[in-house]
Structure 1
Amino acid sequence: MNLRALRRSLILRLVGISLLLLLIVQAAGFVVVQTFIVRNARAQIERSLDVDERVWRWLLDQNAVRLKEASTLLASDYGFRSAVNSGDADTIQSVLENHGARIGAAMTALLDPRMQLQAASPSRTAAEYQSAVDQAVPALVAQPQGSQIAVVNGIPYQFVMVPLRAPLLIGWVLMGFPVNETLVSEMQQLLSVDVAIQIRDAAGAVSVPVSSLPPRAFADLRDFRMGGEREIGGETLLVRAVRLDSGATSARALLLRSLDDVVEPYRQLQILLGVITVVGLVLFALGSAFMARRVTMPLRSLVDATHRLSQGDYGAPIEHTTRHDEIGNLARSFDRMRLDIAGQQDQIRRLADIDRLTGVPNRERFRSALMDAIGPGGGGRPVAVIALDLDRFKHVNGVLGYALGDRLLQAVAERLGMQARSSQDMIARLGGNQFAMMLPGGDATSAREMAQRIIRAFEMPVAFGDQTVDLSAGMGIACWPGTAQDADTLLSHAEIAMYAAKQRLSGALVYEPSMDSSSAGSLSLLTELRRAVDRNELRLFLQPKVTLTGQPGNAAEALVRWQHPERGMVPPLQFIPFAEQTGFVRQLTLWMFEQAVVFLAQPQVRAMSLQISINLSTRDLLDPELSNRFGALLERHGVSASAFCLEITESAIMDEPLRAEAMLNRLSEQGFKLSIDDFGTGYSSLAYLKRLPVDELKIDKSFVIGMAADDGDEQIVRSTIDLAHNLGLSVVAEGVETVAILERLRALHCDDAQGYYISRPLPMDDFLAWHAAAAEGK
């Protein structure tokens, strides 16, 4: 573990904080104990110094009594008094010296009644005796029973004075005893207290003539001016200064007791407390670390578990869930979260792969399976893809509601699943109303067979209560190996073929490169189409319509042909679907309408009262300027809108019903005749027929061609004719290939017919010739 991680360690923090708190408590306790010990020691020393001071004064008093007795004994000595009376100086001096030596007096003197020095022992000089007399005598005269301290030559002396009578007062005996090491030692031995005598003369000089302390401490004692605490020789001493009456010279006895000596017995206690503190800290640290580890190890385990969860591993259970403490509660919460997340992830994966509405795989799952099928794992087996787009689904949502639309998608998915050959076939919803089917091992033939099975499965309407919905769809087929090299392109080709099938109403178509408006060839085709309009390469053809009375009709359907300078005549199926995909169909429609208007504006054509039908696509109906463009061309050439019949497929209306219906109403108000093209191919809606301004129904050629061989087709044609007439609409049948079909339509009271039996689409000049010939032969 690196330093940064160590700093962030929860164990270190817990142990550190615990130790810090314990250390603070112990330190506070140690400080309190130390303070108490020192304060108690100071109080103890102060009490001892009180005793010391009393004992010191008592010793001085006892010493004074002893001196007083010795002095009295000398004063009562008959021989001494006789010597004094006789004035024998030698005898007096000898007695003073001998008696002083006998009792230990350092200074012995005889004063006359006037307190003048008369005689003295020879141990000191006359000046010293005079100094003693000057200092001690005045105080002793005032208090003859007491003693007086006088400093002589820097040495303190305790003086006493007694009268000398014979029987009258003949003088005074003055005796001085030095306050020396003997007294100090006696004091130290008696009370274990250090004593020092401090002398300060009149000039302020300080000396310590007597002390129980080592000589090195004298300097500190000389600087000491008052009682209190003093650091002397590295030792803390408490000092009590006792003033000695000494006249002009200040003399003090310093009583000193060591604070360290008093505290010393407590040092062991402090050391023991320190050892206990250290041991306690160590034990506490170990215990805290152990407890913290018991807490942090499960937490570390939970951290590892969160890392596994973040990496998507939800299988490993969380540890410590059996504990009955907070860690156990946390672990159980983590484990519940793991299970919840695992469930959510499973649901997300299902949602990522499965369409929630229908329960079949979605586009991404289908794409992934398709990649696997055509990838190395597929073994090189061929794959066919069918893309399917339901017809009129927007209409179902708009009329029946989105809920019923959802149920319709579920029913479609169910029916598609029933058509699967095996479990290897995959049904998927690509989005909206689009589905797809993958056929592993399938080719174009098997895909067409599957498409026919789907068409037959869709023949049965879907019933939702009292609502019945017819099913139909456009399907596109793409196969691998082929033009597509990857899954995305293969699926795109299937969708392109699907859109082409819907536009051509072909049911199912296999992908061809010409369908792909995104290919390089298609891009060049779009450029060529634009150039064809500019260079007048397009041609307007007219396919005649006749009444079923056999008379030549005055109507025709306009069709476009492309006379390419290099390719020759290009079939409509090679560029019309492409134009619808790219939106260029609007330019083609406008070009056809303008050519037809110009044709009708010719004088010979005006006399024919010809009506031309023009097809409109979905993109045309969604162009909001369509009616304005048509009106401008009609006005420019002076042609009436009634000269045109605009044919629209029901699929064009159903894609955007509201916008398409609005445009059709505007066109009808302009005077255009409207016709429903390819009626009966599964897009029929009676509700729209009732609501739209339609004038004509055009029966799809697939029913007309099948009349000769299929009674069912004839029934559809008959029903359509009857329905149209009941609605007040005229009927046109396209795809008349034989005279038998023509006669049958006449028997069914069909109004008009067109087809190759009557005439192929003709150039405009040929149409005029055909019309003239037909008029001559009537």
Structure 2
Amino acid sequence: MGRRNTGKHGATGSRLLLAYAAASLVLVVLLGVMLVRSYREDAERQGRDQGRAQAAVIEEMAVAPALDGAELSAGLTTAQRERLQGATDLAIFHGSVVRLRVRSFTGQVVFSDDGSTAGGILVSNPAFRAAATGTTDVAVVADGDRSVGRTIRVLQPVIAGASGQAIGVLELYLPYDAIDAKLRRQMTVTYWRLGIALGALYLMLALIAWYTTRALRRHAAHQEHEALHDGLTGLPNRAAFQARAKSAIDGAAVAGAEGAIVLVDLNRFKEVNDTLGHHAGDELLRLVGSRLSQALRGSDTVARLGGDEFGLVIPGLPQHAVLDLIEAARAELVRETVLDGVPLSIEASFGVALYPRHGTEIEELLQRADAAMYQGKRGAADIVLYAEDGVANPTHWLTVQAELRRAIERDELVLHYQPKVRLRDDEIDGLEALVRWQHPQRGLLPPSEFLPAAEQSGVIELLTGWVLRRALTDQAGWTSLGQSWPVAVNVSARNLETPGFARVVAGLLAEHGTPPERLLLEVTETAMAGDAENVARAVVELAGFGVGVAVDDFGIGYTSLAQLRSVPVSEVKIDRLFVTDLDRDPQNQAIVRSVIELAHGLGCRVTAEGVETAPVSAWLAASGCDAAQGYLYSRPVVWPHLLEMFLNPRGTGRHARPEPVEPVHLSTGGTRA
């Protein structure tokens, strides 16, 4: 959403066009000046060539014959002078010659058309010296003697007689005005033609400049649009989303307004790609972008952040209006559509963070919106507003994730184990592995301090892998001492959704030589409901390898009876919420009794969590519960301590309890306390 800003490109393009036009005009003018100068030089060259030819004719036809046998250094005889006068009078009379002098090599004027013996260029003049040595010199000069304007001055050697030797220098001045006038007429035509040609050239350059500038402007706008928009949907991309979100937050801070940053993630989008193909997935993403844009206001921003994740910037609305608007967008989004002939209902999770209530920095708000969205994916609500008490504080998650990675590498984690006791004979029926973090600065940390951050990233896979390896190693230790207790390990839904997880578990069992039936994986009921199809697929694959799966915290999540019937679950663990005060609470008794009957009817064992008193244990045993787990039997401790308790019992009971440890329980799934 939002219109493309082309103003700056238009101003830049106009300036570029003006600069290009000015530069082109300068070049065209310079080209014109050069061409005019060249034409003028050509015209003068033509005049000089004409003067040289005319002088050659006069010298050869008139002067040379008249001076045959003359010795100019001694002067001319009367006969020679008369012959020369007669040969040149006609040319001078008709004006084809302005002035004529015959000079000796010493510069003496031996003949002139007006009878004078003075004047002419100096002997030292290069032109005279050139003529004296046999070279013709031609120049257009101003005539200073008769004020006839410009003339063509020709200095050339006089060659008389059969010897072919020069006897003097002919200084001849020819009229240039007629030639100049003719050349001017020719030049006028040439100038017009040149002007038209240069004008056409300039117009062409201007058109090229306009077209090029326009193309560059469009290209720049296109490049900017491409840099800030998603190529598939045409929506703003992550960079544009960040910029618009920051602008909205900064504007709200100045105006004292409110707004929201919303993250939207499609549910089960991978199934569309896998089932209908990537072209259908692309069409679905375009449809989602279109529907969200249509549902929101023109001032709001809808951006595609990557994959199937979208971001919304909703400025200027309080909380209730934001939620109403998002609900309207969700209603528009979930309308059924048809892709490749298959009816499809779009589902998505919305995580909402408000500003300035939940933060004033874009990264902080994005983290909190992401945390809310993730909570929505694990629960039943499609729209979740970030709440400090409902979502683990994500502002430190990046730090926790980085530290946890290092903790796994440094082997700072430890496993405590809590026994599950068979109610029919009070014997240990297995151990549940519970992870702790021996932090070098903060001491022993319970799972609630780091599991939420781990489950939001790939760290959970590293963590689960570490717990499985350590639990199987410890199990080999107590097995070698004669105790064949099965071990239960908590895994998150993210583990089950990871392709190949079941094969990884099977590989670890083979690596440690552990029979599959001696490993139980526990998944919370809430996690089972998150992505039911992928989780069910993983559970079926695990069952195929012989590994059992237990539904943990049963009763507080959203597992349906159909899921329990279709998924090969081997054990159901009743949440402690229904077990506390079970011997005195008729409602909890009815619920627990129903769960026991239901689980047994589906072929599952039943374990009750949080058993702390003997009357509760007795009631569970009488009601047919298979096993129990709680402080009545033991708090979580390291396994050698349990082995010592089992081999060397103390006190009045079969299993004495160790020193009290503060109870910790995490209700969001994953590796519990």
State if a TM-score over 0.5 links the two structures: yes
SS in 2 for 1:381: coil
Q: Structure 2 CA distance, aligned partners of 1:433 and 1:273?
A: 88
State whether residues 285 and 308 of structure 2, in contact with CA within 8 Å, keep that contact through their aligned partners in structure 1: yes
Letter in 2 for 1:366: F
Aligned to 2:517: 642
Letter in 2 for 1:753: V
Displacement of 1:404: 1.4
Aligned to 1:276: 181
Q: Structure 1 CA distance, aligned partners of 2:534 and 2:553?
A: 19
Unaligned runs of 5+ in 1: 54-180, 195-210, 218-228, 243-255, 303-330, 650-675, 707-712
Change (3 A) 1:212 1:721: closer
Unaligned runs of 5+ in 2: 1-18, 88-109, 119-133, 137-154, 579-587, 612-627, 637-641, 656-673
- Superposed CA deviations along residues 574-620 of structure 1, whole A, max 9, x for unmatched, are 31122345655424652465246535753799667545244267579
Change (3 A) 1:257 1:347: closer
State whether residues 370 and 487 of structure 1, in contact with CA within 8 Å, keep that contact through their aligned partners in structure 2: yes
Displacement of 1:363: 2.5
Letter in 1 for 2:474: V
Does residue 741 (structure 1) correspond to residue 616 (structure 2)? The answer is: no
Aligned to 2:625: none
Aligned to 1:203: none
Change (3 A) 1:461 1:187: closer
SS in 2 for 1:357: coil
**After the TM superposition, which residues 478-489 of structure 1 pair with which residues of structure 2 at under 5 Å, given as runs?**
478-481=353-356, 484-489=359-364
Aligned to 1:17: 35
Q: Structure 2 CA distance, aligned partners of 1:609 and 1:27?
A: 117
Change (3 A) 1:526 1:24: same
Does residue 407 (structure 1) correspond to residue 262 (structure 2)? The answer is: no
**After the TM superposition, which residues 280-429 of structure 1 pair with which residues of structure 2 at under 5 Å, given as runs?**
283=188, 287=192, 290-291=195-196, 294-295=199-200, 298=203, 302=206, 331=207, 348=223, 350-376=225-251, 379-417=255-293, 420=296, 422-429=297-304
Does residue 433 (structure 1) correspond to residue 308 (structure 2)? The answer is: yes
Change (3 A) 1:399 1:439: same
Change (3 A) 1:16 1:605: same
SS in 1 for 2:370: helix
Q: Structure 2 CA distance, aligned partners of 1:686 and 1:363?
A: 31
Q: Structure 2 CA distance, aligned partners of 1:345 and 1:550?
A: 80
**After the TM superposition, which residues 132-151 of structure 1 pair with which residues of structure 2 at under 5 Å, given as runs?**
none
**After the TM superposition, which residues 526-537 of structure 1 pair with which residues of structure 2 at under 5 Å, given as runs?**
526=404, 534=412, 536=414
State whether residues 262 and 312 of structure 2, in contact with CA within 8 Å, keep that contact through their aligned partners in structure 1: yes
Does residue 540 (structure 1) correspond to residue 381 (structure 2)? The answer is: no
State whether residues 354 and 361 of structure 1, in contact with CA within 8 Å, keep that contact through their aligned partners in structure 2: yes
Of structures 1 and 2, the one with the larger relative CO (CA 8 A, separation 6+) is 2
Change (3 A) 1:387 1:37: same
Q: Structure 2 CA distance, aligned partners of 1:212 and 1:401?
A: 110
Displacement of 1:374: 1.5
Does residue 719 (structure 1) correspond to residue 562 (structure 2)? The answer is: yes
State whether residues 417 and 431 of structure 2, in contact with CA within 8 Å, keep that contact through their aligned partners in structure 1: no
Displacement of 1:434: 0.7
SS in 2 for 1:684: helix
Letter in 1 for 2:517: S
Does residue 577 (structure 1) correspond to residue 452 (structure 2)? The answer is: yes
Q: Structure 2 CA distance, aligned partners of 1:258 and 1:432?
A: 101
SS in 2 for 1:602: helix
**After the TM superposition, which residues 455-604 of structure 1 pair with which residues of structure 2 at under 5 Å, given as runs?**
463-467=338-342, 471-481=346-356, 484-495=359-370, 498=373, 508=384, 510=386, 514-517=393-396, 522=400, 526=404, 534=412, 536=414, 539-541=416-418, 554=429, 557-561=432-436, 570-581=445-456, 583-585=458-460, 586-587=462-463, 589-591=465-467, 593-595=469-471, 597-598=473-474, 601-602=477-478
Letter in 2 for 1:679: M
Letter in 2 for 1:16: M
Q: Structure 2 CA distance, aligned partners of 1:487 and 1:212?
A: 105
Displacement of 1:451: 6.7
State whether residues 273 and 281 of structure 2, in contact with CA within 8 Å, keep that contact through their aligned partners in structure 1: yes
Does residue 694 (structure 1) correspond to residue 543 (structure 2)? The answer is: yes
SS in 2 for 1:645: strand
Q: Structure 2 CA distance, aligned partners of 1:451 and 1:774?
A: 58
Displacement of 1:428: 2.2
Letter in 2 for 1:431: G
Displacement of 1:345: 5.4
- Superposed CA deviations along residues 323-370 of structure 1, whole A, max 9, x for unmatched, are xxxxxxxx3x66566666665555555545544433543333332322
Identity %: 18
Change (3 A) 1:566 1:352: closer
Q: Structure 1 CA distance, aligned partners of 2:351 and 2:183?
A: 88
Q: Structure 1 CA distance, aligned partners of 2:247 and 2:60?
A: 97
Q: Structure 2 CA distance, aligned partners of 1:190 and 1:566?
A: 131
Q: Structure 2 CA distance, aligned partners of 1:273 and 1:569?
A: 115
Displacement of 1:48: 5.1
**After the TM superposition, which residues 207-246 of structure 1 pair with which residues of structure 2 at under 5 Å, given as runs?**
none
- TM-score, length-normalised on structure 1? 0.52
Letter in 2 for 1:440: P
Q: Structure 2 CA distance, aligned partners of 1:355 and 1:412?
A: 13
